[in-house]
Structures are given as structure tokens and as C-alpha cells.
Amino acid sequence: MATGQLFSRTTQALFYNYKQLPVQRMLDFDFLCGRETPSVAGIINPGSEGFQKLFFGQEEIAIPVHAAIEAACAAHPTADVFINFASFRSAAASSMAALKQPTIKVVAIIAEGVPESDTKQLIAYARANNKVVIGPATVGGIQAGAFKIGDTAGTIDNIIQCKLYRPGSVGFVSKSGGMSNEMYNTVARVTDGIYEGIAIGGDVFPGSTLSDHILRFNNIPQIKMMVVLGELGGRDEYSLVEALKQGKVNKPVVAWVSGTCARLFKSEVQFGHAGAKSGGEMESAQAKNQALMDAGAIVPTSFEALESAIKETFDKLVEEGKVSPIKEVTPPQIPEDLNSAIKSGKVRAPTHIISTISDDRGEEPCYAGVPMSSIIEQGYGVGDVISLLWFKRSLPRYCTKFIEICIMLCADHGPCVSGAHNTIVTARAGKDLVSSLVSGLLTIGPRFGGAIDDAARYFKDACDRNLTPYEFVEGMKKKGIRVPGIGHRIKSRDNRDKRVELLQKFARSNFPAVKYMEYAVTVETYTLSKANNLVLNVDGAIGSLFLDLLAGSGMFTKQEIDEIVQIGYLNGLFVLARSIGLIGHTFDQKRLKQPLYRHPWEDVLYTK
């Protein structure tokens, strides 16, 4: 492996298996370091394509999302780092696919628990093809002031405290990602900071070893000293011992192997990492520390003394003139995300939507404050749900039953009415369910099914003003307005609409009062004296009876009743009900496999 620097200020990566926080942290680090271009060139989410919106400083950017590794590498040929956030189940396969791409030079595998046999194959392929694997079970790595992998070094506050926004003179390598964060802080306190830091991962077989990176650091002129943090278990540290003995490292190395406390236990202890388990005396922390010291590394007497050892080594380099003073820079302020600023109470932000009918923020959704479980346990019906979501209150059972009857009676009126006809034609054109449904719903209006609100509005106004049927009807006639809710193309005095009769029968038996319905009936009596088909239709029946429901329930003020009629609640009943039938007509045509509809010529009057 050896060679030198892995990253630079122009390094770009491909991020596999999108995770918002680590990607945003990478971009925030880029901005902190003054990079001109984001370090994340593209995101790979198997099966997905498009763009992912993120922030680069104050600017919102769109990062391309690719469905396959090959496509991402082809689209971003300058991206040579592959950051793999796949689970342990698929990490090996996706990492191998990335290693086989000619543009990829470094693969970082974050997942723990990757099968050792798979890891060995990755290591063999990488070494044979002069590529670098960091991990598995790693947090990644960082080149100060240039590039970082995923969550390396933690939060922006920690990065600033550790002075990682600009390069120092120390190369650091560790097995532990968590301890890396601690050591970045330690190094920043007693030296000019980190130049590059790598966490190789805590698995038994890391993709690259401690000595691999130390030898690489030795070839980077900007690195003046190295710090190594090993751990008990395995024999990785002995490859570094050999490199030191053979004179391959000519820069000071401060080293410590953690786990000296293992000897205090009577039996073998498995520490946090898979590889942190002593398999004999040579794998103990004490043996490794002694071997490193004998080979020429600077090894303190304890972990607590590690900071002092690093400081003494760095100060000596300064005295010898081998380290030039680094000019401190003030990093830019990272804009705080709105959500975190709101949570911390730093800003106030207006909401974009107001909702008073439902709430899905708790353990279960609530309709008008009633939990979903209560709705089911108390045996609520569709009418009850409508009363909660439309009227924001639980109406008496006779009211919700009336709503359900209206829905059942208005669900369909055959294939010949305009709404059903439109839906049938659209379905036969091969369109989907929603398109077919909407084409039918769009016909609802003053001439088809949309007269319920108008009927309620005019009947209420006339009744409240004590107009006689004559005064009401003739007054409407003078204005050139047909009386909504009166008249039918088929039904007549001798062929009454059964739906109207059923609604009136239910209301007379269950409503406290039917003042508005009785008024509508007197209007019908007058209009029938003019023409046999000017009967009270289903729009007029529902409109007048809904007024009785609202007034008789005692749960609505006069202002609320007027508002309900004005907004269009009653037409909403027809829209909801007729949607059932229109969906049925769509399914019917699809099931019958009906061909494209073409209107017959003989049914068209062609004229000039």
C-alpha cells in the first residue's frame, strides 16, 4: 500500500445508501474548510434516481441520485472515494462492485459485522489492484481542511474545537472511531493539530492496517510526527513494530495500545470491537506496548500520559525547527438548520399550514381529538368519522345515520348521468382509476348534483323571512333563477323519487323538528300546480333536511350553520357519495374490458 496522500481539497466521493445526517456533515465540513466544490458528487440508492436537496453553506444544492454503482461512477468520473453505508448484509457485495470500478481508489465500509470471509476477499482484491479499503466497522477518516468521510470527527462544534478545518502536522491512526474523536481533541490541545486521521475499524480483519497508514504518513511531507492508538487482540501492531525495526519509518511515532486492564480479569474479556480480545500473551496490550517501545516508538507509561508524550514529541520538533508555525484562520459560521434553531429557542418561524381536524403526532392519529382506537372500540361508523372531520364534533347518532343514508342513496344514479358517462368514457380510454374518477367529479356543479348547497341556502333564506311559497317561487322567477332542489327530468307527481321519500320518512321519525323540510314540501305543492315534474328532488330533500339536522341538534350556532352552507359542506356529501359509484363504474368497465368509446354519428346533428 504505502504511497502517500489519499485525499485533497478537490477529492469527491460517492455515497452509497443515503443517510441525510452524515452527508450534510460532510458538506458542512467542506464549507467550513472553504472548499469551492462539495465533496459529495453523487448518491447511490439502489432502485432510486433523481436528486437529493442538501445545503452547501447557505446555498441549497441538488445532489444527483443514481440507482446503480456503475451509473454513478460513469456520471462522476472524478469521484474516487466510495463511502459505503450499506448494512452488513450487503456491504461486501456493494464494496466489491465499487472496487471493480476503475475510477474508485478508496472504499470506506462503515458497517459492523461484515462476514470475515467477505472482508478477506475485499482485502485481497484491493491489494492486488492498488486500492485502499478503510473498515469495516469504521467511522472513516479525515484530512484536516480538505475532506472527511461521513460522521468522522462528529459535530461541527467538535471539528472546530479540534481545529480540523485547517491542516496540522500530525498523522493519526486508530482502530477505534470513538477514540479517534477523543484523540483529535487531545492532539489539537498540545500540537498544531491533525493533518490526517484514519480509523481502520475494530474488526479482526481490517481492510487496511495501522502500519499501512503509518508508512503512508511517512511519505507525506506535511506530516511531521505520527500518533498510533492500538488495542489488545490481534497482531496488527506487530507489523508496525517490524516497519520500525527495519527503518521504514523516519518520523517520530507516539504509540499506545489500550486494554492493559484486561489482566485484572480472571477470564478472557471481549471488549467493544470484534478484534478487541486477547488470544494469548503476544496479543495483550502490555506485550504490544513493550514491542513498540523496543522498536523505537515513544510509548508512555499509561493512557493518561499519552497526551504529555505527544506534547513533548511535538515541542522537540518545534525546537529543532522541523515544524513551521501554522497561521491560524477563523472558520466561517455554519448556518444553523431551521429545525435545530427552533428547537433551541433561537428563532421563531411561522407555520405554513393550520389544521384543526386531525393530529398524527402522537402514538396514534386523532380525529378532532378522538383517538383512532376510541373510534374503533366505540363502534363509530362512517357518519361519525364525517362528523368529526367535517364538523369537528361528535353528532348524535340520528345525525350520523342520516349522513350515512345520504351517502348510500346518492352513491350512484346509473350510467347515463353526466358524471358516470364521463367516468365510463375515461376508463374505456385506458386511463387509471384516479383520472377516471376525477373526470366524473368535474361534471358536478349547478346542473348535476351540485344544487344541495343552493337549495339549502335559498330554502333557509325564504323560510327564515317567512315568505310564502308563492312569494318565494315568483321572486326567484323574476330574478331569472330556477328554484334549486325543485324539478326532475324523469320523476313527477305520480312517479315520486323513492330516495326523497326515504329521507323524509327517516327525518320525520328521528329529527326533533323538520321545519325546513316542511317548508320545502309547501314549495313543492305550489310548483306542482305549475308543472307535473316540478317535484322536490333529492338535492332539495338533502338540503332542507340538513338545515333541520344542524338547527335541531342544538350543536351549531346560526353563524356556524350559515358558514357550513356557504362553504359547500352539503355538496361535499354528494361528491363523497357519488365517488363510490364513479369508482364502481371504473372497475366495471375495466372488468368488462370495454374498448375505446366513440360516439355514434347518428347521435350527432351535423349542421352549419
Distant-in-sequence, close-in-space partners of 594: CB < 8 Å, separation ≥ 6:
424, 427, 428
Select which of 66, 213, 273, 488 is catalytic. 273
Distant-in-sequence, close-in-space partners of 352: CB < 8 Å, separation ≥ 6:
none
Measure Cα distances from 92 to 116, 129, 166 in Å.
10, 17, 33
Neighbouring CB atoms inside 10 A of 302's CB total 9
Determine phi and psi for 85, rounding to 5 degrees.
Answer: -100, 20
- Separation between Cα atoms, residue 287 and residue 231, nearest integer Å: 11
User: 256 with 285: CB under 8 angstroms?
Assistant: no
- Separation between Cα atoms, residue 381 and residue 358, nearest integer Å: 17
- Separation between Cα atoms, residue 555 and residue 271, nearest integer Å: 67
Q: Which residue's C-alpha cell is 329529527?
A: 511
DSSP result, 426-454:
HHHTT--HHHHHHHHHTT-BTTBB--HHH
With CA atoms as reference, report the closest residue to 216 among 204, 238, 200, 202. 200
User: 502 with 397: CB under 8 angstroms?
Assistant: no
Give the containing element (helix H, strand E) for 62: strand 59-66
Distant-in-sequence, close-in-space partners of 3: CB < 8 Å, separation ≥ 6:
216, 219
- 585 catalytic, yes or no? no
* Amino acid at site 17: N
Q: Residue length, the chain?
A: 608
Q: Which residues of 397-411 are buried (b: 16+ CB within 10 A; e: fewer)?
A: ebbbbbbbbbbebbb
With CA atoms as reference, report the closest residue to 337 among 82, 561, 28. 28
User: 579 with 441: CB under 8 angstroms?
Assistant: yes
Active site residues: 273
